[in-house]
Amino acid sequence: MMKPVSLDDLKRRIAAEPRVRLCQLPTPLHAVPRFSAAIGAAVVFLKRDDLTGLAFGGNKSRMFEFVLADALKAGADTIVGGAGLQSNYCRQLIAACNSLGLEIHLVLRRTPGQSESIQGNLLLDLLAGANLHVIDSADPEHTLQRTRIFALADELRKEGKKPYVVRMANDQDLSSDVISYVNCFCEIVEQCHELNVTPSRIYVAAGDTTQAGLELGKRALGIPVVIQGACPDHSGGDAARQIAHYANQAARRLGLDCTVEAGDIKNTEDYVGKAYGIPTPEGIAMLKLMARTEGIFLDPVYTSKAMVCLADHVAKGIVGKDETVIFLHTGGNAALFAFAEYLDTAELSSHLSYEK
Ligand SMILES: Cc1ncc(COP(=O)(O)O)c(C=O)c1O
């Protein structure tokens, strides 16, 4: 066990890192009493990282403050990367690049059967003028996509540009991404102090760097809050190992004498459903419950499933009746518009009556 550092010390270490300002921080932390009552929980607070500010918000915008500072430091004028066709990450990356005057090229992966309609994140990507190259791929290792991203970077280099490849093609060192969530943990600590609340648990939709940052923040400050991640995909138990690995990378970069063990990470795949990117009926029900009790939208792929995890843990008594819980809303709700077919249109139509 490391000797904890003070909040000021941790903030000083983060402040020493290269960073560009992209987000409206701190994001709000507030209670959702009607939703808490509806799931039978004592007090649920939402940490609103869906309101980070750029292009409908989300957790990735925090990361780009550090990642794109690294790119600018390396002399880049063009960013190259990629993810899925409806990626929240890409939407926010495009917005971040536009606001910094960086050119951006993305290789997006369309999985078999995925709708080609220009909706949700894809619509926003195009409105923001990004250069998109779509490939068809069912390969879970994304080998073709990675190859295409590096080939694209080479082509741009030949044109005289200075490309910088970001993940998913370049995920050797993700300490910048993680540090942004150590910073988020510091914000949560300060806000809880101001609100005079002591949360015992934080729930989050996460498979790697977001949870890694929270885990490192909690250990660095010695705060005994339980962090429960709900993985958006079936990682075969790999998520905990990845989270620990990335947290340890960031610990070294921040000079923290701290080791995160995979065995100490709570990250469940129980709420994924069929697969990554396919909404679950329970998740859709949770999404509607949040919208109908609080007027706040969750997303169909990440946060709605993580909220099912929290509600289920309340129902099973894993979260006690007197506990204060924070749910970190990581955003993603712009994707909703591309998922209408999953949202139980029959039930939605039952609220509609056309007057003659
Ligand atoms: C809305 C949303 N929540 C959670 C995550 C998971 O973040 P991480 O990859 O850092 O675990 C993502 C990733 O894209 C996301 O878009």
Mean model confidence pLDDT for the chain? 95
pTM (2 d.p.): 0.97
In the chain, DSSP assigns E strands to: 29-31, 43-48, 78-84, 103-110, 131-136, 163-165, 201-205, 226-230, 266-268, 324-329
Contact 203, 309 (CB under 8 A): yes
Pocket (CB within 6 angstroms of ligand 1): 58-60, 88-89, 205-210, 299, 302-303, 330-332
CB-count burial class (<10 Å; 0-12, 13-18, 19+) for 172: exposed
Q: How far is the CA of 59 from the centre of ligand 1 (A)?
A: 7
Q: What is the structure's pLDDT at 159?
A: 97
Helix (H) or strand (E) run with residue 62 in it:
helix 59-73
Work out the average pLDDT over 157-186.
92
Q: How far is the CA of 208 from the centre of ligand 1 (A)?
A: 8
On the question of pLDDT at 168 being above 70, the answer is: no
Q: What is the structure's pLDDT at 139?
A: 79
Work out the average pLDDT over 214-229.
98
Tens of pLDDT, residue by residue over 264-311, are: 999 999 999 999 999 999 999 999 999 999 999 999 999 999 999 999
Q: Which residues contact 106 (CB under 8 A, 6 or more apart)?
A: 80, 81, 82, 83, 90, 93, 94, 125, 130, 131, 132, 133
Contact 302, 330 (CB under 8 A): yes
Amino acid at 264: D
Sorting pLDDT into bands at 50, 70 and 90, what band is 220?
very high
Tens of pLDDT, residue by residue over 195-219, are: 999 999 999 999 999 999 999 999 9
Indicate the top mutation candidate among 59, 168, 177 to test ligand 1's pocket, ranked by most ligand atoms within 8 A of CB. Answer: 59
Distance CA 325, CA 40 (A): 12
Contact 209, 177 (CB under 8 A): yes
Indicate the top mutation candidate among 64, 66, 210 to test ligand 1's pocket, ranked by most ligand atoms within 8 A of CB. Answer: 210
> Residue 241 corresponds to which tokens in the numbers above?
């190992």
Q: How far is the CA of 322 from the centre of ligand 1 (A)?
A: 29
Tens of pLDDT, residue by residue over 71-90, are: 999 999 999 999 999 999 99
